Amino acid sequence: MNHSTLFRASAALFPPPHSTSSSRTNVTDNIAIDGRNVNFSITTRQGKVVPILRDCSLRIPSGQFWMLLGPNGCGKSTLLKILAGVLSPTNGSVYVKRPKSFVFQNPDHQVVMPTVEADVAFGLGKFNLTCGEVRSRVSKALDAVGMSDYIQRSVQTLSGGQKQRVAIAGALAEACKVLLLDELTTFLDENDQIGVIKAVRNSLDSSEEVTALWVTHRLEELEYADGAVYMENGEVVMQGDAASILDFIRVRQSAYIKQINS
């Protein structure tokens, strides 16, 4: 295990922020995502405060494909939603390069228009573009995810993997600098899983500026990543290059199995 590439996501490396605003302060230009001491908690009906995220700090360089790993319920999706701006942190600061796009776990929640072409173009509605520009962006985005033959297809007739690719194309068409992807392979079979992950990898390879943070709990997907962040119980335990994180998790797994067997 290459420990030199690993570091504990501790507060020492990430000094506490002076404010909780999303403005960038001491972050270098090659950092696409920077979260410092992010805390998030919810209050139950009984008035009890339940912490979901505790002092989560992470830093992801530009142009790389990173994964956010961890067991179910450890707070991966919550952290991603905070980075996307869907949720506000209780404490801590977050910086994410703009424009950013968020892709939901369930493609049926992401795809809002009835046909492929219209859905990919939906996100462009906020820009003032000509029809020609929109057409070109839609075509390029669909090409990047291998869906250019399905441009006029009804979304209903697509498989789960195809819908997921359409959702990714919608994010790519916006020419975003950061892609936040929430467990895209959850509902997919093995072929579609690889197809979707390769589509993301290819789109990153074709553009140096795009950074992607992919939430998953499948270790086999790590081989496509440049780096990874590992979370447990609402805390960022470790972050570093993909191979090291993989080794780290395997060591923990074997230790856990030994503990059970003993």
Partner 1 sequence: MNCTFPTVTFPAIPNLGTTACPKTLNTTSLKNPIPFLKPPNKIHPIKLKLIKISFRTRASVSDSNDGETGNWVKWIPTGAFSISADKVFRLISGATASPIYQFVSSPTTFLHSVDPRIKLVWLLALVVLPARSHIVMRFGLVIFLFFLSIWILPRHVWMDQLGRVSLLSGILFIMLGLGADGVAPLVQLRTPPPAMMGLPKLPASLGGYSYLIMKLGPLQFTRKGLSVASIAACLTFTVFQSASLCLTTTTPEQLAFALRWFMLPLTYIGVPVAEIVLTLMLSLRFITLVFDEVRNVALGIVSRRINWQHLTMMETIDIFVIYFRRIFKNIFIHADQISQAMIVRGFRGDSKTHKIYFLSESSFGMADIVSLLCLVGVTGAALLSDYYLV
Handedness of CA 32, 95, 165, 115 (dihedral sign): negative
* Contact call for residue 162 and partner 1 (CB under 8 A): no
How many chain residues touch partner 1 (CB under 8 A)?
A: 37
* Contact call for residue 111 and partner 1 (CB under 8 A): yes
Residues 37-96 that bind partner 1 (CB under 8 A): 84-86
* Contact call for residue 109 and partner 1 (CB under 8 A): yes
CB of 111 to partner 1, least distance (A): 7
* Contact call for residue 113 and partner 1 (CB under 8 A): yes
CB of 118 to partner 1, least distance (A): 5
Distance CA 190, CA 160 (A): 12
User: CA–CA distance from 114 to each of 92, 142, 164, 213 (Å)?
Assistant: 39, 16, 14, 28
**Contact in structure between 33 and 83 (CB atoms under 8 Å):** yes
Residues 198-257 that bind partner 1 (CB under 8 A): none
Closest CA to 144 of 122, 170, 119: 170
* Contact call for residue 102 and partner 1 (CB under 8 A): yes
**45-51: long-range contacts at Cβ-Cβ below 8 A with a sequence spacing of 24 or more?**
51/234
**Contact in structure between 36 and 15 (CB atoms under 8 Å):** yes
* Contact call for residue 112 and partner 1 (CB under 8 A): yes
* Contact call for residue 110 and partner 1 (CB under 8 A): yes
- Which CB, 72 or 128, lies closer to partner 1? 128
Rg (CA), the chain: 19
Footprint on this chain of partner 1 (rule: CB under 8 A): 84-86, 101-102, 104, 106, 108-115, 117-118, 121-126, 128-129, 131, 134-135, 138, 152-157, 170, 174
